Structure 1
Amino acid sequence: MNDFLVIGGGIAGTSAAARLAQLGKTLLLEREPALGYHASGRSAALFEANYGLDSTVALSKASADFHTNAHGGFLSPRGLMLVGKSEDAAAFEAACIDLNMDPIPLARAFDMVPILNPDVIGFAAYHDEAYDVDTDREIQVFASIVRDNGGAVITGQDVTAIRRTQSGWSVTSNGTDHEARTLVNAAGAWVDVIARMAGIKPLGFTPLRRSMARLPAPGGHDVSKWPMIIGAHEDWYAKPDAGKFLVSPADEDLQDPYDAWADDMVLAEGLARYEEYVTEPVTRLEGSWAGLRTFAPDRNLVIGPASDDPAFLWFAGQGGYGFQTAPAASQLLADIVSGAPSELDETTRAALDPHRFA
């Protein structure tokens, strides 16, 4: 008998399992052949603690020390630049406030990112407090913590049935029944599917597609030191990646849970918006992909026991903030289970509590 059975092997499931494995015997089941296959494996991999709703910002700030120092740290410098056209003054100012960024002289922006178009760019802001995240290593570290504490992480497991028992739960995957006292739903875009399978009322999560294009380095530049760049209207962003350049149309198209792929028209429209700000046209794509960012109805994460069964734990709705919130979010889940006091304030905890949907 396991104490905890976690469904989902992305950053949500692996971080939750790592925390819970220190409280009891833990089993993690992942449907795909590898961990971090879906949204976690298609992340922009940026830690920017000022981005998101208040509860998300609180989780991100509480996660900063772990990202920076635990297990040798998972962050490397990147920086974030915000750019706007001359007519974007209001949107630019609002975005600066949201992201806690200060305007910089345009000459500095053009020096940092030489492909920015001086005939178009009217505003720029920048701050250093944005970092690349070593996402794969973080997932693997969390998985190793599970194993080091006597738990198991099993991939390639298709959950086909979930049954409530007198002692907890029986979960069937690949024809084998796994028993656990507590079930943790960290299944990403499939969290409502898992809830229905377990007889728990779904909360109305919405998976939204986010697409990405990989381009050659624009103009043959060395992009390694460039910051991530975001438009003032947040309708595109770009980021260096292993000598290439990633550009996203920042799309949010409602989808059923599935193995997402990029829509060519959506990519083309997003790349056209990006091209308005730069001097180097997009001439070739080296690849494209998409992931599903899954949100609760109010866009706050959902962490804690279901209102209809306290032995069913929600750990869901990470949206695009899974990596940057994972250390603190998973610690909150463990604190709820163990009854330990949380470092998060009461307002934040209430915003994350599943009972807000009861």
Structure 2
Amino acid sequence: MDYHDVIVIGGGVAGASAAAEIAAHATVLVLEAEDQPGYHSTGRSAAFFTTTYGNSASQALGRISEPFFRNPPEEFSESPLLHPRDQIVVANADGLDRLQAMQQSIAGDVVAISAHEALERVSVLNAGEVAGAFVDRTGGELDAGAILGGYVRLLKQRGGSFVGNARVSGLSYLDGLWTVTTERGDCHRAPIVINAAGAWADQVAELAGLTPLGIKPLRRTAILVPPPEDTEVGDWPMVVHLSGELYFKPDAGMILVSPMDETEDLPSDVQPDEYDVAVAVDRLINNTSVEVRNVPHKWAGFRCFAPDRNPVVGYDPRSSGFFWLAGQGGFGVGTAPALAHLTCGLVTGEKIPPVYDRVLHLAGALAPARLLS
């Protein structure tokens, strides 16, 4: 049996980033159920960064995290973390009110463009389904692999440990220490446990004897399809079609498409449902001129939400030393730096660096106590 100051359950980007920051001040062990970090939500994320999408908490966390992605610490990664790409949001005539309301809520970060301009940027859009649009030039594509890999390296450089194939099967608390048991029989002890288990967060809470907070894993589907012949897609923006209920963007010479589905499912190595794949194809065909003859690649991942759709970050008031870091709702990669520093500050008591200290203003809105009646 080994002893640590903090044990993090879950080796996705949330758990790895928090562990890396904490490791500068305390001994940390990360336990990951799979044989590699980020196998589930992190590894399947579209990882498009924008500060204008999601609810107000997600947008604020994105803004706080943005400096990290644009100017990461020296030696964090050999490649850029953020690759600029515009995002265009469009709607048909029936969806103009919704489009305008969305634009007004984020007016400082977006610019209205005409339907004609949107069609010039993305020629495959169905003109009959585009009556209005706005463009967000603040974001781009995050390199989720580089971000996760950088945090895992930073964790190890600071003396922390990462153990794969270590699915947690038991949690017990006695005399100020948590004992964490894995399925292969290993036992680890620490006064603080961080529940960063993603889709399994409520199950981990139950192992600790706590009633779940209602964090639901919602399945989201994505497919890759070939572009039209002789069409160069590399310079396309990310397109969110509010009326068509889909988004699509370039991806390694192909078109990545999602029907923006949110289907509640059980925690698992989630796979795409063929119905959702068909819906993605249908929505793309109905809203663009793209003809889909085959779907060479398809997958699904979980976006996990608390009942109020805010992340859950903080100590559970019902149990000593049990800390939640869950429910990022598909924004786990884009909010990781901010939430990692908030978690580190709350767990270690160390001062949060000034560039991130605005995150403290969100602590109350993210605390798990808000979900307890």
Class of the TM-score when normalised by the shorter of the 2 chains = over 0.9
* Deviations, residues 15-58 of structure 1 (Å, cap 9, x unaligned): 11111111211000111111110011110111101212222111
* Deviations, residues 113-147 of structure 1 (Å, cap 9, x unaligned): 11112233222221211210010010011111111
Partners in 2 of 1:322 and 1:234 — Cα distance? Answer: 25
Partners in 1 of 2:137 and 2:215 — Cα distance? Answer: 33
SS in 1 for 2:321: strand
Whether the 8 Å contact between 1:3 and 1:24 is mirrored in structure 2 is: yes
* Deviations, residues 94-131 of structure 1 (Å, cap 9, x unaligned): 23234543221333222211111223322222121121
**CA distance 1:29–1:283, change in 2 (3 Å):** same
Partners in 1 of 2:134 and 2:126 — Cα distance? Answer: 15
Partners in 2 of 1:97 and 1:288 — Cα distance? Answer: 35
Q: Does 1:179 align with 2:189?
A: yes
SS in 2 for 1:145: helix
Partners in 1 of 2:242 and 2:101 — Cα distance? Answer: 9
Of 75, 91, 97, the match for 2:104:
97
**CA distance 1:340–1:158, change in 2 (3 Å):** closer
Q: Does 1:55 align with 2:62?
A: no
* Cα displacement (A) at 1:224: 1.2
Whether the 8 Å contact between 2:40 and 2:269 is mirrored in structure 1 is: yes
Q: What is the percentage of aligned positions where both structures have the same residue?
A: 35
SS in 2 for 1:276: helix
Superposed, 1:25-36 pairs within 5 Å as: 25-36=27-38
* Cα displacement (A) at 1:346: 6.0
**CA distance 1:98–1:265, change in 2 (3 Å):** farther
Q: Does 1:156 align with 2:156?
A: no
Q: Which residue of 2 aligns with 1:256?
A: 266
Q: Which residue of 2 aligns with 1:206?
A: 216
Superposed, 1:329-348 pairs within 5 Å as: 329-340=339-350, 343-344=357-358, 348=362
Whether the 8 Å contact between 1:235 and 1:270 is mirrored in structure 2 is: no
Q: What's the TM-score, normalizing by structure 1?
A: 0.95
AA matched with 2:294: R
SS in 2 for 1:309: coil
Name structure 2 gaps, 5 residues minimum: none
Q: What's the TM-score, normalizing by structure 2?
A: 0.92
Partners in 1 of 2:268 and 2:116 — Cα distance? Answer: 45
Q: What is the RMSD of the two structures over their aligned residues, measured on CA atoms?
A: 1.6
Whether the 8 Å contact between 1:234 and 1:250 is mirrored in structure 2 is: no
Q: Does 1:77 align with 2:84?
A: yes
Of 155, 169, 178, the match for 1:169:
178
Of 281, 300, 308, the match for 2:310:
300
Once the two structures are overlaid, the 10-residue window that deviates more, 292-301 or 199-208, is 199-208
Of 259, 275, 280, the match for 2:290:
280
Once the two structures are overlaid, the 10-residue window that deviates more, 224-233 or 58-67, is 224-233
Partners in 2 of 1:246 and 1:291 — Cα distance? Answer: 14
Whether the 8 Å contact between 1:120 and 1:277 is mirrored in structure 2 is: yes
